[in-house]
Chains A and B, each alone.
Chain A
Amino acid sequence: MRTTTRWVGITLAGVLLAAPLAACSQRGANNGGSEASGPCKGQQTTGITKTSIKLGGTYPLSGPASAYGEIPKGVRAYFDYVNKEKGGVNGRKIQWIVRDDAYQPPKSVEEARRLVEQDKVFALFQTLGTPPSTAIWDYANQQKVPQIYVATGASKWGTDTKHPWTIGWQPNYVAESRIYAKWLKDNKPNAKVAVLYQNDDYGQDYLNGFTKAIAGSGVKIIAKQSYEVTDPSVAPQMSKLAESKADTFFDITTPKFGSQALAADAKDTSWNPLHILNSVSASVTVLKPVGFSHVQNVVSAAYFKDPADPQWADDPAMKLYKAKLKQYQPGADPEDQFHAYGWTVAESLVKTLESMKCPTREGLRDAMRSQHDQTDDMLLPGVLVNTGPGDGFPIESMQLERFKGSRWHLFDKVVDTRKEFGPVQ
């Protein structure tokens, strides 16, 4: 075949030509990171200087999951507040670069590589979504770059031991399921439960956690329905679950589908189960569109203060959050739970940065894995951040809440699921 031989000739010529050119390349020039001296000798200090810390994060700013693209506004508000009014962290101003991965794992890997290799960030702070974060964590750990406080509640961030540089932050879905299971075992020992769950890692983590937690007790799951993110509505699933006449309904949905499920439950007068709503959809902004009268006595759990909830109206931390959000992110709606989430996780990060012994990546890794009763103003009173050698979950305590009138009412006490149920397997 004459043509292929011609191609082979060209590529050979290319290889011969290319070899000598390999010497002078952009590649060799700037991939050396800087190291620390003194007590933190040999540890990496790329992306951190006396006066600045450079961080990077990946979020779905576009595409179907772009609702979560609101979180960075809350984070940026807190960082601007700390930089401008607190002189930064130990005198270091925080610079935070956000990249869009449209919730596509290949894009997440690309953006993470850009942040680490090109922008030379000190650490990856907040990579959103389990698939994107899973796509990144091998790379982050191989590059020895902290992937701190990933924005997903999957239990694997804490149970895994092969990725020391990666850690979650919010209470994991299994822990939350355990709280509901415990409450049901105590208050409704023979509850018949119907479950609606999103058919992905998030939904299945909740479901598996709940199933394990109620094993061997009177509480039984008698009906399960899943839905796809591409489904237009969950009404068909809800009408199928209604047939089960279960007395309890465990609702594992993301915000939009949460409102639909609440509305369907209210509309079906023949089925009035105890409605347990997972914390991902527990913001008042999800309940309000359904109409407060329809969502009375819904039960959920929380670990940080919901800005849309009047009970925190005069709480100092909430006032600070709302004022600073308005000041530094004028367009952002303070009642949006994603903004409050961003603000709260940013606060936790700053506290962790402050607690670093060595201003190095290794220092941050060790700091994030050894936190003792660290408080955070926007967390519920009593919810503390704890990590340690055997404990990869910063937050593991939540408090149950019931919706009455036009706000959530906390009840029982803050439950530390680690103490209560032991570590998550």
Chain B
Amino acid sequence: MAEFIQQVVQGLGSGAIYASLALALSLIYRFTGIVNLAQGEMAMFSTYIAWQLVHAGMSFWLALPLTLLISFAGGALIERIIIRPVEGAPELTIVIVTVGLFVFVNAAAGFIWSFLIKSFPNPFPDGALNVGGVQFDFGTLGVLGVVAVVMGVLYLLFQYTKLGLGMRAVAQDPASARLAGIRVGRMLALGWGLAATAGALSGILVAPLLFLDPNLMSGVLIYAIAAATLGGFDSPIGVVVGGLIVGVAETLAGAYIGFIGSDLKIGVPLVIIIVVLLLRPQGLFGRPTVERA
């Protein structure tokens, strides 16, 4: 039985990783209705910035806030320079711009910091908590904790602050928001900045476990998208729950279902998503869009 729980814990660990990036993805989706395929690479780039600061001798606890600030500015800048010019264009055009950004950032990181694997300081203590034969690795617990905190902060920000209300309004109807005097451009830049910050945090959380290299996040991105789709893109809680479900389901299927094994386990999130989307197109926690003709 302990082994089963160990696998579930392992699944939660993977799920937390997917959820951390999915939070950043859901942030941008809420504003612009598009999935930023370059979110993972932006997170990876921020992680390299943090690594560079720590490598230059700065303490981790100083480098962390500084990196988050830089990532925020970088995210806002990307929105202003790369996304704004195609703002009115069809949705797919913007998605392809993010594909271009993906390729660019990945290659740039490889060019600047090379492809050698880099270790990343782990803010959480090594070792694990051993409860009844089941090992709860501190790193994983740390990731789960931070993801829960970020989820809570985002939920509070969106539901209970004026800024959050403004963001939600811009997300739904930018034209009408403008007529109420909301500076939509600034809000979008703010949204991208926040998403970049959440992405940076995800990268910094994940790097100690996956080791830092330019392809740190490319594997995580696909699972994060699956998690957000499952949980419902427009709900921070849904996204995290979606991530955990994908992680646990995938790990258990890989471990226990013989036919699937560890190579076909990518099929598990796929099946879950198809089933959920056929039953609830807006995802588990997403709100159905109310359309009154």
Contact = CB atoms under 8 A, between A and B. Distances in A.
A–B in direct contact per CB < 8 Å: yes
Interface of A: 62, 64, 66-67, 69-70, 199, 225-228, 230-233, 235-237, 239-240, 243, 255-256, 259-260, 263, 267-270, 285-286, 288-291, 333, 335-336
Q: What are the nearest 6 A-B pairs in CB distance? A: A289-B119, A232-B219, A67-B115, A232-B220, A239-B10, A236-B251
Interface string B65-85: 000000000000000000000
A235 B13 contact: yes
A336 B211 contact: no
Given A226-B262, A289-B117, 12 more contacts: A64-B218, A66-B115, A227-B262, A228-B266, A230-B219, A233-B17, A236-B254, A240-B254, A240-B262, A256-B215, A263-B209, A270-B135
B210 A291 contact: no
Contacts of B262: 225-227, 236-237, 240
B116 interface: yes
A55 B42 CA distance: 38
State which size class the interface on B falls in. 35 or more
B223 interface: yes
B62 interface: no
Interface string B213-235: 11100111011000000000000
B119 A290 contact: yes
B107 interface: yes
A231 to B, nearest CB: 6
B119 A236 contact: no
Interface of B: 3, 6-7, 10-11, 13-14, 17-18, 103, 107, 110, 114-119, 126-128, 135, 137, 209-211, 213-215, 218-220, 222-223, 250-251, 254-255, 261-263, 266
Contact of B263 (A226, A269, A285, A291): A226
B209 A233 contact: yes
Nearest to B208: A263
B266 A235 contact: no
B114 A336 contact: yes
Nearest to A229: B219
Nearest to B107: A62
Contacts of B137: 267
Nearest to B118: A289
Nearest to A233: B210
Given A199-B263, A268-B135, A232 B210 contact: yes
A366 B126 CA distance: 56
Given A228-B266, A239-B10, A288-B119, A267 B128 contact: yes
Contact of A232 (B14, B114, B116): B14
A239 B115 contact: no
Contacts of A235: 10, 13-14, 209
Nearest to A230: B219
Contacts of A291: 119
Contact of B211 (A62, A64, A256): A256
Nearest to B220: A232
A418 to B, nearest CB: 33
Contacts of A64: 215, 218
Contacts of A255: 117
Nearest to A68: B115
Contacts of B211: 256, 259-260, 263, 289
